[in-house]
Amino acid sequence: METIDKIKEQISQNPVLLYMKGSPKLPSCGFSAQTVQALMNCGEQFAYVDILQNPDIRTELPKFADWPTFPQLWINGELIGGCDIVLEMFQQGELQPLITEAAVKTDSE
Per the annotation, does 66 bind a ligand? no
From the list 3, 44, 5, the residue with the least C-alpha distance to 18 is: 44
Q: Does 21 appear as a known binding residue?
A: yes
Q: Residue 84 annotated as binding? A: yes
- What is the Cα 34 distance to its own chain's centre? 12
- Peptide linkage before 71 cis (omega within 30 of 0): yes
- E strands of the chain, at which residues? 16-20, 47-50, 72-75, 78-81
Q: Does 107 belong to an annotated binding site?
A: no
Instruction: Could you list the residues known to form a binding site, using ranges.
Output: 21, 29, 58, 70, 83-84
Instruction: Could you list the residues known to form a binding site for glutathione, using ranges.
Output: 21, 58, 70, 83-84
Instruction: Could you list the residues known to form a binding site for [2Fe-2S] cluster, using ranges.
Output: 29
